[in-house]
């Protein structure tokens, strides 16, 4: 047997590279999930140097965090098309880092994420573009830039004519230095730069300019006129956008498929929502995604949109107000293909009204009714009965736990449900957890944070029953002995026990029971010390993220030890008073 096994290993090792490429190509073509794809890549890379080399050719995107030589990264992963530098915190300046990308490698990039930095790296990009005029960049994300200058916007407009997706959202300060009466010429420069952007990037299909104070009706109109392929628009929190401006602009783009205009307050004066705006909105006959979060909307608007029976698959009204059941029921009754619905904080909803809405939602895949504080068990089971395609339910901060539940004989299994978010439901008890364990055998995520009347025994039983659970949140667990109950083959990968009263012994038990953990959140766990953290990190050999914020008994010295002892770690949220040595 040993000889046969050894022979098979030699045969596998002797396979030429192109054979392995064909085998892996067949494998990865069947995998749609990004996390699963990355898991296979990582596993195969550990088998042999040959498979490491072959598997690397199937890596198409990478998120760079540390100060690694970027030329080596592109050499190891020759087929990279997407580079994410949004979390990059290396010592090398971002401009210098970009300038070191080999020109042939940059020419293969189609997506670049430069978000969350103090400035836009214009000089680094200009340096590499000097030697590369054949770049294929179609997606540029530069969200949350502290100082986005008008010269940066001009550079983008002049340098990336093939962009199809552009995100310049949430510049800290609103864009530039903010509109000022003292420097009107700077404000004009910024407006001119944005107008140049709208004129030159005519291939745009998706644009996100949310949170930019320079976005006004005129600019939005120019975007819609010039960008004939535009399909997706996000202009949330733009204070100088009006209903009239939106109405004029979207008439030029009736083929918009996704439209988001959140935090819109003008409608507080309901007469501003006139027939012109309603007519313009109803012209969007291809609309599949509509987001009016935190905005003032009316039943008139919702009913007018319903008249066209738009092919909506996603509707987000989180925190929206001034509409009633009459408006939302009319719209939902005309959208039979709706798959994703967000009605957070729709406080007019009660069990009776929600049950009636559920009859329109036969194709629903995910729903969020968190903060609808009149919904009880009745709504939960009505949702399951009427929506057989559901995979994700969010009912946080509701009254679930109140009211009758089906008898054991009447319980139905719902194998499609994968995610259950039920945090801040103080009425949930052990009997409800028993029911969930039976009804959702394929559950992969459950959040019971701040549900104070659930025992550790019932949690352990549920984890035994639902063996597919990978992500478990139980913040503020009132007991202390959750993992002293032994259970076999725990497959948890993400565990949140923040605000819980666990100590080093419980943490040690966690690490023994859950060796596959990838993420561990211990924020505000005041009884955990560096001893418990050390044992957990030693036992969880695949750990990628750990959160020790406000763990006041954990020494800051643990950070450097974790970095060197557990190379799999990608993100460490340090305990109080930690200061990096290079600062």
Residue 43 has pLDDT above 80, yes or no: no
pLDDT value at position 526? 92
Residue 251 has pLDDT above 70, yes or no: yes
Please tell me the least confidently modeled range out of 72-81, 372-381, 516-525: 72-81
Placement of tokens 């725990």 in the chain: 490
At 1, the pLDDT band (50, 70, 90 cuts) reads: very low
pLDDT value at position 177? 43
Residue 214 has pLDDT above 60, yes or no: yes
pLDDT value at position 89? 81
Residue 401 has pLDDT above 90, yes or no: yes
For the segment 499-503, the average pLDDT, to the nearest whole number, is 89
pLDDT value at position 482? 56
Placement of tokens 């019932």 in the chain: 458
Instruction: Show the beta-strand stretches assigned E in 21-78.
Output: 61-63
CA–CA separation, 78 vs 56, rounded Å? Answer: 8
SS3 state of residue 34: helix
pLDDT value at position 446? 96
As a three-state string, the secondary structure of 225-279 is HHCCCCCEEECCCCCECCHHHHHHHHCCCCCCCEEECCCCCHHHCHHHCCHHHHH
The angle subtended at Cα 352 by Cα 346 and Cα 357, nearest 5°, is: 65
Placement of tokens 């001009």 in the chain: 154
The CATH code belonging to domain 475-583 is 3.80.10.10
At 14, the pLDDT band (50, 70, 90 cuts) reads: low
pLDDT value at position 583? 40
State how far the alpha carbon of 101 is from the alpha carbons of 94, 117, 339, 359, 454, in Å.
Answer: 11, 19, 41, 55, 53
pLDDT value at position 12? 53
SS3 state of residue 70: helix
Residue 418 has pLDDT above 60, yes or no: yes
The CA dihedral of 364, 368, 373, 379, to the nearest 10 degrees, is 20
Please tell me the least confidently modeled range out of 268-277, 407-416, 423-432, 504-513: 268-277
pLDDT value at position 39? 67
β partners of residue 316:
291, 342
Report if pTM > 0.85.
yes
Residue 200 has pLDDT above 70, yes or no: yes
At 183, the pLDDT band (50, 70, 90 cuts) reads: very low
Provide, rounded to the nearest whole percent, the portion of the chain with pLDDT above 70: 87
β partners of residue 421:
394, 447
Give start-end residues of each CATH 3.80.10.10 domain in the chain.
475-583
Please spell the DSSP secondary structure of 482-546, one letter per residue.
GGGS--S-----EEE-TT----HHHHHHHHHH-TT-SEEE-TT-TT--HHHHHHHHHH-TT--EE
pLDDT value at position 375? 98
At 265, the pLDDT band (50, 70, 90 cuts) reads: low
CA–CA separation, 525 vs 454, rounded Å? Answer: 19
For the segment 240-269, the average pLDDT, to the nearest whole number, is 81
Q: Residue ranges of the alpha helices (H) in 120-172?
A: 122-130, 150-159
Please state, rounded to an integer, the average pLDDT across all residues of the chain. 86
pLDDT value at position 582? 46
pLDDT value at position 50? 72
At 224, the pLDDT band (50, 70, 90 cuts) reads: very high
């Amino acid at each position: 047997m040993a000889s046969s096994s050894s022979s098979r290993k030699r045969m596998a090792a002797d396979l030429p590279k192109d054979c392995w490429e064909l085998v892996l190509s067949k494998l990865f073509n069947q995998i749609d999930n990004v996390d699963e794809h990355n898991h296979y890549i990582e596993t195969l890379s550990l088998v042999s140097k040959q498979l490491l080399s072959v598997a690397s050719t199937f890596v198409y995107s990478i998120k760079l965090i540390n100060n690694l030589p970027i030329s080596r990264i592109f050499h190891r992963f020759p087929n990279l098309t997407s580079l994410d530098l949004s979390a990059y915190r290396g010592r090398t300046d971002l401009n210098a880092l970009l300038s070191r990308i080999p020109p042939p490698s940059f020419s293969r990039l189609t997506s670049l994420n430069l978000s969350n930095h103090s400035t836009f790296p214009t000089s680094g990009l200009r340096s590499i573009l000097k030697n590369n005029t054949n770049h294929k960049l179609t997606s540029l994300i530069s969200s949350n830039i502290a100082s986005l200058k008008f010269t940066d916007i001009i550079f983008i407009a002049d340098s990336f004519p093939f962009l199809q997706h552009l995100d310049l959202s949430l510049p800290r300060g609103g864009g530039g230095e903010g509109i000022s009466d003292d420097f009107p010429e700077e404000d004009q420069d910024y407006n001119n730069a944005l107008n140049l952007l709208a004129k030159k990037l005519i291939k745009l299909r998706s644009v996100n300019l949310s949170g930019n104070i320079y976005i006004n009706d005129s600019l939005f109109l120019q975007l819609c006129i010039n960008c004939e392929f535009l399909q997706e628009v996000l202009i949330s929190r733009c204070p100088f956008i009006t209903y009239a401006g939106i109405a004029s602009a979207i008439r030029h783009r009736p083929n918009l498929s996704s439209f988001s205009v959140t935090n819109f307050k003008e409608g507080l004066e309901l007469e501003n929502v006139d027939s012109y705006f309603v007519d313009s909105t109803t012209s969007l006959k291809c609309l599949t995604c509509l987001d009016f979060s935190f905005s003032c909307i009316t039943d008139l608007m919702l009913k007018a949109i319903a008249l066209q029976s738009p092919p909506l698959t996603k509707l987000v009204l989180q925190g929206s107000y001034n509409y009633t059941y009459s408006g939302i029921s009319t719209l939902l009754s005309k959208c039979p293909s709706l798959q994703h619905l967000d009605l957070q904080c729709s406080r007019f909803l009660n069990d009776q009204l929600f049950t009636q809405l559920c009859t329109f939602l036969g194709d629903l895949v995910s729903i969020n009714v968190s903060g609808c504080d009149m919904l009880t068990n009745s709504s939960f089971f009505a949702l399951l009965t009427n929506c057989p395609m559901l995979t994700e339910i969010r009912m946080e901060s509701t009254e679930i736990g109140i009211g009758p539940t089906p008898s054991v004989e009447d319980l139905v299994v719902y194998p499609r449900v994968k995610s259950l978010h039920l945090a801040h439901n103080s009425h949930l008890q052990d009997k409800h957890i028993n029911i969930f364990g039976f009804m959702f055998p394929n559950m992969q995520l459950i959040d019971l944070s701040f549900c104070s009347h659930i025992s550790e025994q019932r949690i352990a039983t549920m984890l035994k029953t639902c063996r597919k659970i990978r992500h478990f949140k139980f913040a503020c667990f009132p007991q202390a002995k959750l993992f002293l109950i032994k259970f076999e083959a725990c497959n948890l990968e993400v565990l949140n026990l923040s605000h819980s009263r666990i100590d080093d012994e419980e943490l040690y038990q966690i690490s023994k029971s859950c060796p596959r953990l990838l993420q561990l959140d211990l924020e505000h766990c005041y009884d955990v010390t560096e001893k418990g953290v050390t044992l957990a990190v030693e036992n969880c050999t695949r750990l990628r993220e750990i959160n020790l914020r406000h763990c006041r008994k954990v020494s800051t010295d643990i950070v450097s030890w974790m970095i060197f002892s557990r190379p799999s770690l990608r993100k460490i949220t340090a305990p109080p008073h930690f200061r990096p040595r290079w600062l």
